[in-house]
Amino acid sequence: MNYFSLNNKNHSSSFENAVIRGLAPDKGLYFPEHIEKLPDSFFSALPNMPQTEVAYQAIKQFVGDEIPEAELKKIIAQTLDFEFPVVHVKDNVYTLELFHGPTLAFKDVGARFMAGSLGYFITKNEVGKVTVLVATSGDTGGAVANGFLGVEGIDVVILYPKGKVSKIQEKQLTTLGENVTALEIDGAFDQCQDMVKQAFLDEEIQSKRQLTSANSINVARWLPQMFYYFLAYRQLASEGKNIVFSVPSGNFGNVCAGMVAKELGLPIKHFIASNNANRTITDYLETGTYEPRPSVSTISNAMDIGNPSNFVRILQLFQNEYGNVKENLTSFSYDDEVTKEAMQEVYNETGYVMDPHGAVGYLGLQEYFKDHPNEVGAFLETAHPCKFRETVEDAIGKQIDIPDSIKEVLEKEKKAISIKDYADLKAFLLS
């Protein structure tokens, strides 16, 4: 499969090159040249197909022959060695729990798949050492650190905003050591992201280090997220064919991967992008004008993003037509108060504990059902509630259980380097 740059349709890249580079030379995001629908035989076999086979069938056209079948299947097996249960919450509301991976975040899937693919290309094709440079607003850091830990030929450098990620998130990204370094910045996530972008444009750094990104701009992080939708459908198919998904969204990589699943023929009725107070896309769908803005801090911090990087991919999927986007995507935005109330309400009513991101997804689904009462839907639970322990316990008025794996990481010692500005980052990368 070849990919083109969203800044220049004539620029063509292999999957390997897109994974290694992250962004095209013209700074455009890579996008698949074709998306070919999966055959009917796939969909009839889907309900009884093993998880890893579903994933292999879904992703294989995007990889092509660049990773041999046996290797690709091995990468997928390592990526998906946990469950993705659909849990009934109430009435026509289900949740797809994506937090059963090693860092209890849905990003584990993308991070592991990318680590497997990049690791394969590096050892196979003598690419040389690669540095994965990534900014995190919370969950990316831990998942990427964990996914790439110990992968030969790869160094990982993670930038995170000091005091703006949860305690567990911070420990997950600062305690691993080996090939992983955490850099702490006294600022907001947007600043971390800007510094990463600047480093990618810096020729002096590029001449010394081969940099790539593990944010969802990288196709190997973005595309495997489509697996969730197939795996949810496989479990929900008996509920009727058309499922609505509400996706708590920040950079819009996850929801956009769901849209690719739909392009592959998965019968998804509609997408809801549920936002916290960072409502750039909610406003875009209301007004037709895209106005990025600085992010604001919320209790669902992994979605504190004012200029979602995958928005351009969504536009591409819908031929850059506003009307087309609007037909396929609805977006709602909720502030922290309403989010906490929802956590409490659902807990009191059903006993189900939502994390703040999932709660935003739940709210979006409920609001959509007001006008579509006969549909069935799932909101994505993108993180385990214990990662936002204080907020959750405060909202539901009860202590929640902490898994043993998290208790272990909390005891480890934090190791991070504090940096002030871009000059510090540059000095670190050149050293």
Ligand X SMILES: *Cc1c(COP(=O)(O)O)cnc(C)c1O
The residue ranges that bind ligand X (CB under 6 A) are 105, 107, 138-139, 216, 248-254, 302-303, 357, 382-383
Closer residue to ligand X in complex, CB, 13/254? 254
- Cβ atoms of 170 and 414 within 8 Å: the answer is yes
Provide the minimum distance between the beta carbon of 224 and ligand X in the complex, in angstroms, as a whole number: 12
Closer residue to ligand X in complex, CB, 175/274? 274
How does DSSP assign 96-152, residue by residue? EE---STTSBTHHHHHHHHHHHHHHHHHHHT---EEEEEE-SSHHHHHHHHHHTT-T
Closer residue to ligand X in complex, CB, 138/364? 138
Provide the minimum distance between the beta carbon of 420 and ligand X in the complex, in angstroms, as a whole number: 26
Neighbours of 153 (CB within 10 A): 16
Q: Mark whether 107 is an active-site residue.
A: yes
Closer residue to ligand X in complex, CB, 67/302? 302
d(CA 239, CA 84): 17
Provide the minimum distance between the beta carbon of 430 and ligand X in the complex, in angstroms, as a whole number: 30
Taking CB atoms, the residue at the shortest distance from ligand X is 139
Provide the minimum distance between the beta carbon of 219 and ligand X in the complex, in angstroms, as a whole number: 14
HSE value, Cβ hemisphere, 13 Å, CA-based, for 416: 22
Token pair for residue 61? Answer: 């056209």
Neighbours of 288 (CB within 10 A): 11
Closer residue to ligand X in complex, CB, 251/391? 251
Provide the minimum distance between the beta carbon of 69 and ligand X in the complex, in angstroms, as a whole number: 28
Crossing angle of helices 139-148 and 107-125, rounded to 10°: 40
- Find the catalytic residue in 37, 90, 107, 269: 107
- Residue 363 to residues 65, 114, 358, Cα–Cα distance (Å): 42, 31, 9
Neighbours of 199 (CB within 10 A): 24
List, in order, residues 6 or more apart from 415 with CB less than 8 Å away.
Answer: 174, 175, 177, 182
User: Which residues form the catalytic set?
Assistant: 107
